[in-house]
């Protein structure tokens, strides 16, 4: 919009740990600037996906453009770019930070700095963003802004002399925040005369208009009708819709360097316009793309099988549709001897996996059996080939492989001192390598470990939370592959190996895991008319063995004689229970059994 010079634009985001009040503050800013009328105010405007709202977390990025008249009497355009709050989406966070010149660091004054906040603040500092600390929730009786300010200074090394005390809930400090955005965050550089380069920081698929792309113009100008070229995907499109987010979409004719907006160009799938890609003009291409483009690689895989084999095509169609809106989702058909036809799907992390599963079941009405998540192993064969194995059942046999490497992550935890011992024990049990520990003045501690990702994607997070009564937080990032003596653990049910239950484990843990698995399966698989043996083995060596005794009585015999309605109810209940079962040979195996590895008592 030509009437706004770059000097009066401010682009910023909010960095906050989950529940520290990011959405509430965003709502307040929208209200205070009159961007959203109070009566239209839907609570928490920026989180607009149902699933997000239910889980109370931010998954997709959004943006909002606000007009603000500052104390200097000038009108400013403030673009607030929302960031997802979960480690699975850290690449998207990094791109939205690049689209900003500043960030509000919102910390709950009754809690303190948390691990996820740290990760994002470091990203912001790396990108030279101006950071404004905001101590939120000062209305709470337990708020200790001075203590938390001390913590921010100590952990992050950030000067907090200009920290703003606020309560998003009570509307305290909102004007100060808006003024600070104008005064302290630098305007975008005026590069309007350069060739167009716009950074995609989010996109979503709309079934009528195709993909809608959210971007920040870094250099030059973009107009409606322009033919654009995407520098990473190499694709070309014609812009048929261009606009700003106020925060609902409002069309404009052109956008200049420094501005944030959206466009539609009959783009078929988000994979054609990925987050991080650079938009330029076909007829006047920029010399080089903006730095930092990366394709999001799946870190976690699982198998998805329809319970009813007839739903295989429906599952394929559903995945195809989801893929239009999710460039990070990978899938390919998989045939399992135990489970039949399904798909092997790759995700950014466990949350991403859960979201996709939930959408498949809720929006597409599919009944699925999902196998335990696996990381991607690197196998060097004796022939010198390098293979990436995302499915334990596909691991080459010991005499075909030279070595196996597994992905490692660095995990940062922040916890009250009391729980340090327990969290160290947990990390050690999960093959963690201690790296660092720092006592902070306020009775909290940071802990750094290197851990195999495989140990983190099971129940590490849940264990950390329960051991610290919910007080510890964590963040992790990939640091590379390392060789380990890993073996494949096979599970046999009723004499047949079940490929979907195979797993890759460390040699030293194999016996314990095998035993625990056999016991857990015994607990989870219902009794049958016959005895069901369960065995865990490495190669041909059986390391654990259990059996489920045969069912003696007919369930119906338990009913009151002649009470037909009760009988019906029982049968219905059984039928419902069956829905989540998969027949493996002649044995019905429930969904929980496939996830048993996540619930082994091995911490
Ligand atoms: N007392 C008090 N409560 C607040 C304040 N700000 C937010 N809250 C409450 O804290 C909870 C979390 O707030 P949200 O705004 O949803 O937190 P968030 O950081 O956006 O959370 P994610 O979207 O999950 O990242 C809600 O119950 C809010 O009502 C505040 O200033 N004071």
Q: What is the DSSP string of 66-104?
A: EEEE-TTS-EEEEEEE----SGGGHHHHHHHHHT-SEEE
Q: How far is the CA of 11 from the centre of ligand 1 (A)?
A: 22
What is the model's pLDDT at position 159? 92
- Specify the range with the lowest mean pLDDT, choosing from 86-95, 111-120, 527-536: 86-95
pLDDT over threshold 90, residue 277: yes
141, HSE (Cβ side, Cα atoms, 13 Å) = 0
What is the model's pLDDT at position 52? 47
> What are the pLDDT digits (tens) for 372-426?
889 999 999 999 999 999 999 899 999 999 999 999 999 999 999 999 999 999 9
Cβ(393) – ligand 1 distance below 6 Å:
no
Confidence band of 567 (pLDDT split at 50, 70, 90): low
Integer-rounded Cα radius of gyration of the chain: 27
Question: Token pair for residue 37?
Answer: 């009328």
What is the model's pLDDT at position 550? 87
pLDDT over threshold 70, residue 478: yes
What's the chain's average pLDDT?
Answer: 87
Instruction: Please tell me whether the interface predicted TM-score (ipTM) of this complex is above 0.85.
Output: yes
How many Å apart are CA 200 and CA 214, to the nearest integer? 6
Question: Token pair for residue 79?
Answer: 């673009």
What is the model's pLDDT at position 536? 94
Question: Token pair for residue 59?
Answer: 């998954």
Question: Token pair for residue 352?
Answer: 């991403």
- Quickly list H helices, 364-456: 420-429, 453-456
> What are the pLDDT digits (tens) for 316-328?
999 998 888 788 8
pLDDT over threshold 90, residue 363: no
Cβ(172) – ligand 1 distance below 6 Å:
no
Confidence band of 336 (pLDDT split at 50, 70, 90): confident
pLDDT over threshold 70, residue 528: yes
User: For atom 9 of ligand 1, which residue has the closest CA?
Assistant: 21
Q: How far is the CA of 69 from the centre of ligand 1 (A)?
A: 26
More confident residue, 355 or 66: 66
Q: How far is the CA of 213 from the centre of ligand 1 (A)?
A: 28
> What are the pLDDT digits (tens) for 1-38?
447 888 999 999 999 888 899 889 998 998 999 887 66
Residue 16 CA, closest ligand 1 atom number: 19
User: For atom 30 of ligand 1, which residue has the closest CA?
Assistant: 137
- What angle is formed at CA 112 by the lines to CA 154 and CA 59, rounded to 5 degrees? 115
Cβ(165) – ligand 1 distance below 6 Å:
no
More confident residue, 112 or 265: 265
String of DSSP letters for 26-38: HHHHHHHTTSS-G
How many Å apart are CA 504 and CA 93, to the nearest integer? 32
Mean pLDDT (whole number) for 92-101:
90
Residue 27 CA, closest ligand 1 atom number: 15
Percent of the chain whose pLDDT exceeds 90: 54
What is the model's pLDDT at position 58? 42
Q: Is 505 exposed, middle or buried (0-12, 13-18, 19+ CB in 10 A)?
A: buried
pLDDT over threshold 60, residue 573: no
What is the model's pLDDT at position 172? 96
How many Å apart are CA 102 and CA 100, to the nearest integer? 6
Q: How far is the CA of 179 from the centre of ligand 1 (A)?
A: 22
Strand stretches in 462-517, DSSP E: 473-483, 486-493, 496-497, 503-506
User: For atom 13 of ligand 1, which residue has the closest CA?
Assistant: 21
How many Å apart are CA 420 and CA 410, to the nearest integer? 17
Confidence band of 89 (pLDDT split at 50, 70, 90): confident
Contact between 276 and 95 (Cβ < 8 Å): yes
What is the model's pLDDT at position 205? 84
User: For atom 32 of ligand 1, which residue has the closest CA?
Assistant: 137
How many Å apart are CA 461 and CA 429, to the nearest integer? 14
How many Å apart are CA 595 and CA 603, to the nearest integer? 16
**DSSP element (H, E) containing 195:** none
Cβ(56) – ligand 1 distance below 6 Å:
yes
- Is pTM, for the whole model, over 0.95? no
Cβ(137) – ligand 1 distance below 6 Å:
yes
How many Å apart are CA 202 and CA 328, to the nearest integer? 12
Confidence band of 572 (pLDDT split at 50, 70, 90): low
Q: How far is the CA of 21 from the centre of ligand 1 (A)?
A: 3
How many Å apart are CA 111 and CA 107, to the nearest integer? 8
pLDDT over threshold 70, residue 210: yes
Confidence band of 569 (pLDDT split at 50, 70, 90): low
Q: How far is the CA of 79 from the centre of ligand 1 (A)?
A: 21
How many Å apart are CA 68 and CA 23, to the nearest integer? 19
Cβ(138) – ligand 1 distance below 6 Å:
no
Cβ(20) – ligand 1 distance below 6 Å:
yes
Cβ(57) – ligand 1 distance below 6 Å:
yes
Q: How far is the CA of 106 from the centre of ligand 1 (A)?
A: 10
Cβ(23) – ligand 1 distance below 6 Å:
yes
pLDDT over threshold 90, residue 333: yes
Question: Token pair for residue 277?
Answer: 């890609």
Mean pLDDT (whole number) for 525-543:
91
Strands 164-165, 197-206: pairing kind: unpaired
More confident residue, 146 or 248: 146
- Specify the range with the lowest mean pLDDT, choosing from 21-25, 34-38, 233-237, 300-304: 34-38
Cβ(47) – ligand 1 distance below 6 Å:
yes
Confidence band of 563 (pLDDT split at 50, 70, 90): low
Q: Give which of 371, 584, 592 is closest to 497, Cα–Cα.
A: 584
- Specify the range with the lowest mean pLDDT, choosing from 59-73, 91-105, 277-291: 59-73
Confidence band of 575 (pLDDT split at 50, 70, 90): low
Mean pLDDT (whole number) for 571-588:
66
User: For atom 27 of ligand 1, which residue has the closest CA?
Assistant: 19
């Amino acid at each position: 919009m030509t009437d706004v010079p770059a000097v009066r634009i401010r682009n910023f985001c909010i960095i906050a740990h989950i529940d520290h009040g990011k959405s509430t503050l965003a709502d307040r800013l929208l209200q205070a600037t009159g961007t959203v009328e109070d009566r239209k105010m839907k609570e928490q405007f920026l989180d607009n996906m149902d699933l997000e709202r239910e889980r109370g977390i931010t998954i997709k990025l959004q943006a909002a453009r606000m007009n603000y008249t500052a104390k200097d009497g000038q009108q400013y355009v403030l673009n607030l770019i929302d960031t997802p709050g979960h480690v699975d989406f850290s690449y998207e966070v990094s791109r939205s930070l690049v689209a900003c010149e500043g960030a509000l660091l919102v910390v709950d004054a009754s809690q303190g700095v948390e691990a996820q906040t740290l990760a994002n603040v470091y990203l912001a500092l790396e990108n030279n963003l101006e950071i404004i600390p905001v101590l939120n929730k000062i209305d709470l009786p337990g708020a200790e802004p001075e203590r938390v300010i001390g913590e921010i200074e100590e952990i992050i090394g950030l000067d907090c002399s200009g920290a703003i005390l606020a309560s998003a809930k009570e509307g305290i400090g909102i004007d100060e925040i808006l003024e600070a955005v104008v005064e302290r965050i630098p305007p975008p550089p005026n590069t309007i005369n350069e060739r167009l380069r716009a950074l995609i920081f989010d996109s979503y698929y709309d079934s009528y208009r195709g993909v809608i792309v959210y971007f920040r113009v870094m250099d030059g100008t973009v107009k409606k009708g322009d033919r654009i070229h995407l520098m990473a995907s190499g694709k070309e499109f014609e812009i048929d819709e261009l606009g700003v987010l106020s925060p609902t979409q409002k069309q404009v004719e052109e956008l200049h360097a420094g501005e944030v907006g959206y466009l539609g160009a009959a783009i078929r799938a988000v994979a054609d316009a990925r987050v991080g890609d650079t938009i330029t003009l076909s007829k006047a291409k920029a010399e080089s793309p903006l730095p930092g483009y990366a394709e999001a690689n799946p870190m976690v895989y699982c198998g998805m099988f329809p319970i009813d084999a007839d739903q295989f095509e429906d599952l394929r169609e559903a995945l195809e549709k989801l893929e239009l809106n999710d460039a990070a989702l990978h899938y390919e058909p998989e045939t399992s001897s135990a489970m039949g036809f399904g798909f092997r799907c790759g995700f950014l992390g466990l949350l991403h996996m859960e979201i996709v599963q939930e959408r498949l079941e809720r929006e597409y009405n599919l009944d699925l059996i999902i196998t335990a998540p696996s990381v991607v192993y690197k196998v060097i064969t004796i022939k010198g080939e390098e293979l990436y194995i995302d499915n334990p059942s596909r691991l080459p046999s010991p005499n075909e492989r030279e070595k196996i490497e597994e992905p490692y992550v660095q995990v940062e935890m922040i916890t009250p001192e009391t729980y340090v011992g327990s969290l160290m024990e947990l990390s050690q049990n999960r093959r963690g390598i201690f790296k660092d520990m720092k006592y902070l003045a306020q009775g909290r501690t940071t802990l750094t470990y290197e851990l195999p990702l495989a140990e983190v994607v099971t129940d590490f997070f849940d264990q950390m939370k329960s051991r610290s009564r919910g007080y510890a937080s964590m963040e992790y990032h990939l640091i590379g592959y390392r060789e380990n003596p890993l073996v494949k653990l096979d599970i046999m049910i009723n004499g047949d190996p079940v490929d979907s239950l195979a797993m890759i484990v460390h040699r030293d843990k194999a016996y314990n895991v095998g035993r625990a698995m056999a016991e857990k399966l015994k607990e989870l698989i219902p009794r049958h008319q016959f005895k069901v043996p369960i065995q865990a083995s490495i190669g041909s060596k059986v390391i654990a063995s259990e059996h489920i005794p045969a069912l003696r009585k007919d369930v119906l015999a338990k009913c009151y004689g002649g009470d037909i309605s009760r009988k019906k109810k029982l049968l219905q209940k059984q039928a419902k229970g069956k829905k989540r079962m998969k027949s493996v040979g002649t044995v019905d195996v429930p969904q929980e059994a496939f996830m048993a590895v996540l619930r082994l008592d091995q911490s």
